[in-house]
Amino acid sequence: MKFKITLLPGDGIGPEVVAEAVRVLETIASKYKHSFQFQERLMGGCSIDKYGSSLTDETLADCQASDSVLLGAVGGPKWDDPKAKDRPERGLLALRKGLGVFANLRPVKVHPALMEWSPLKPEKLQGVDILVVRELTGGLYFGFPKGRDIKDGRERAVDTLEYYDYEVKRVMELAFNLARGRKKKVTSVDKANVLESSRLWRQIAVKVGEANKDIELEHMLVDTASMRLITGPAWMDVVVTENMFGDILTDEASVLAGSMGMLPSASLGESTIGLYEPIHGSAPDIAGKGIANPTGTILSTAMMLRHSFKLETEAAAIEKAVDETVTAGARTADIGGKLTTRQMADEIIQRL
């Protein structure tokens, strides 16, 4: 089959990890007789430098016209001025909105060989296999009013946590569908004891739950969830939550796996176009050194094959190769080894 993939390597270590993920996709293409056509574009700080905008209309249109998008990472100290008109992160948010990818899937599995790299005791990590479904195009990140002004002689800043019923419903339904292929349990995380938006969230969760009686629905307050994630994460399976809660909980959950460098993500919407990216950032401290862990990005390509291209066999082959590579002891610096980004990818490719 033939697919067009837009690459947005971005900033920092982004280009280094995306280059290795492309080699993995090329290996898959030749082994399974597919054709992946790549087009590379700028997004983030590099796009601000070249075009004066973190995401140009042309780049967004190119992404929309492709079958899926693979992103490295965006941001860095160079573009951190709080007064700047544009920031790399704005490009990422505009891209998510522009692609309509309202659900961000962040799976967290702990490889037995990496348990020592987790801050939790190994016995707490047994059986951890979590899928966080984070709402991605609503909530505090996008709500209006938003901004700064002077009110009653005081400097003021406003962000708005806003949700429409249909925004909650579609991400909730997706979470229920994903739960059906797993342990048939959904934990909906909110702050319904305080926030009106969370009370709407919970009301819709209950409604979707009634229409999907084969799936167990549990509600949990976000503060409790963040605590339970550390005291005993094995209870979690599919967790669905609003944008900002999901942002925070997924960083917290990621340390369970030993390194953020290991974890992939997929952002999905109504269409089959998905946005795939590792969950780590641009890591300016190690950028250009060729030592970043490419595994999260490589696993993101597996998610791309599964969710956007429906190539389950190929997706599973990548995941198996990663699993065997880690079991065999191949390690980049973040997980205590000396392999370069390229060598780690070679280890994975060799097992494909």
| 251 in catalytic set | yes
For ligand IPM, the closer CB: 198 or 243: 243
Query: Cα–chain-centroid distance for residue 254?
Result: 11
Nearest to 252 by CA among 266, 236, 275: 236
Beta strands in 100-252 (DSSP E): 103-109, 129-135, 143-151, 154-160, 185-190, 216-221, 238-241
Kindly state the smallest distance separating residue 20's Cβ from ligand IPM, in Å.
20
Kindly state the smallest distance separating residue 248's Cβ from Mg ion, in Å.
8
| 80 in catalytic set | no
Kindly state the smallest distance separating residue 121's Cβ from ligand IPM, in Å.
27
For ligand IPM, the closer CB: 247 or 334: 247
| 57 in catalytic set | no
Neighbours of 242 (CB within 10 A): 28
| 237 in catalytic set | no
For ligand IPM, the closer CB: 209 or 246: 246
Residue 89 found at the interface with ligand IPM (CB under 6 A): yes
Kindly state the smallest distance separating residue 35's Cβ from ligand IPM, in Å.
30
Instruction: Indicate which residue of 31, 57, 223, 320 is catalytic.
Output: 223
Strands 129-135 vs 264-268: parallel, antiparallel or unpaired = unpaired
The binder of 323, among ligand IPM, Mg ion, none, by C-beta within 5 to 8 A per type, is none
Q: Report how far apart, in Å, the C-alpha atoms of 45 and of each of 52, 89, 299 are.
A: 9, 8, 24
| 62 in catalytic set | no
Q: What is the identity of the amino acid at 160?
A: T
Q: Which of 247, 314, 334, 347 binds Mg ion (CB under 5 A)?
A: 247
Query: CA-based diameter of the chain, in Å?
Result: 67
Query: Cα–chain-centroid distance for residue 258?
Result: 17
Residue 247 found at the interface with ligand IPM (CB under 6 A): yes
Q: What is d(CA 64, CA 266) in angstroms, rounded to the nearest whole number?
A: 16
Residues marked active site are found at 141, 191, 223, 247, 251
Interacting residue ranges for ligand IPM, rule: CB under 6 A: 89, 92, 247
